[in-house]
Amino acid sequence: MIINADLHVHSKYSMATSKNMDPETMALESVKKGLDLVATGDAFHSGWLNELEDSLVEIDNTGIYKTNDTIETNNTKFITTTEVEDNQRIHHLIIIPSIEVAWNMRDEFTVKNMDADGRPRIRMNGAEIMDIARDYNCIIGPAHIFTPWTGLYKSYDSVTDCYGQQPDFVELGLSSDSDLADTIKELADYTFLTNSDSHSPWPHRIGREFNRMELKDLSFKSLCFSIKNNDIIENYGFDPRMGKYHETGCIDCHRIYNIHDAVECDMKCSCGGRIKKGVKGRIQELASFDKPHHPSHRPHYQYLLPLAELLSTVHDKGVTTKYVQTRYDRLLDLFGNEIDVLLNTPIEKIATVDMLLANVIKSYRDNTLDVIPGRGGQYGEVNYN
């Protein structure tokens, strides 16, 4: 079976998250998005675990959960996950066999207060965290590996330097794609995951990055097998040029610098501002090749942007305005879920509803976007004209 899966989100128990990140809302909004499987997130927080047990029911001892209702049988399903921060402020994504296992694991970690935040701060290093995860038959890998503040590569030049051995996957994060990552030789053997890290259940956040995967059946065991054996059909996510720290650039005037020139300038811009090293610059420091060397198992990486954000941009209206939401709902009524609209609906059919939207969706599908890259804290911009 083929599924769309977002394997990294947070609950309302994490800092700076929507109070609407509850199981019922997450399930319903994920259906609009077109997700078949979504992470629970925050599975070491006792308040969230209690809520999950009240709201979800496990399907035939598979480690897969559905909402505890009798009407919405086609809701998106859940898998138990958490993100943790280690003693170097590096973030790790753990996919867990069940809610019961998550309860049992909580006491294994050295932590001041496991319930202080949905993403707990563990007083242990990556290798120690991995050992516990594998003792409980979890799979684990670095979250958003290139993020300048909490990604593994901010502190280490090699993945195995962090864990002492190979993790089960690498999560690219919103600031990278397969072309960038596959300039680093050591990553050739890893499965790349693309997930939203969403703090909100609404479809312009949840599933903004996702994985299309082939599974034998919908179960934790099959999901692990798929990830470990690189059975990812396609990765979907942001064009990394849109990130506000993609290029190395000045945080004041936003001038773009080559990373080597920036280092020679002692990270000080000619305008007097500070130069911030970008994700692209860090990858260039680590790169083994000038151009990507994709291994045979590497799937295609498709750029996309949430439908509501595209509507907001082309019509110059806020994402949550009635103007945008009315058009969003009409498109879903006509053509199915959001992923179908973005990827599968014929452009000529979209054009009968919204010509401006049709043109920009075509640009994403054709990879012909004209992007002014983000740098120095300024987000990238797409020229849709």
Residue 236: per-residue pLDDT: 97
Domain ranges within the chain, ordered by starting residue = 2-240, 306-366
Q: Identify whether the C-beta of residue 171 lies closer than 8 Å to the C-beta of residue 144.
A: yes
Scanning the structure block, which residue is given the tokens 């009524």? Answer: 333
Residue 72 pLDDT > 80, yes or no?
no
pLDDT: which is higher, 242 or 274: 274
Q: Which residues of 141-180 are buried (b: 16+ CB within 10 A; e: fewer)?
A: bbbbbbbbebbbbbebeebeebbeeebbbbbbbbbbbbeb
Give the integer Cα–Cα distance in Å for 174 and 197: 9
Q: Identify whether the C-beta of residue 204 lies closer than 8 Å to the C-beta of residue 319.
A: yes
**pLDDT band, residue 381 (cuts 50/70/90):** confident
Fold of 2-240: TIM Barrel (3.20.20)
Residue 272 pLDDT > 90, yes or no?
yes
60 Ramachandran zone, left/alpha/beta (phi>0; psi -120 to 50)? left
DSSP letter at 316? T
Backbone angles phi, psi at 261, to 5 degrees: -65, -35
Q: What is the pTM of this model?
A: 0.94
Amino acid letter at 323?
Y
Retrieve residue 297's tokens: 């198992």
Tens digits of residue pLDDT in 127-168: 999 999 999 999 999 999 998 889 999 999 999 999 999 999
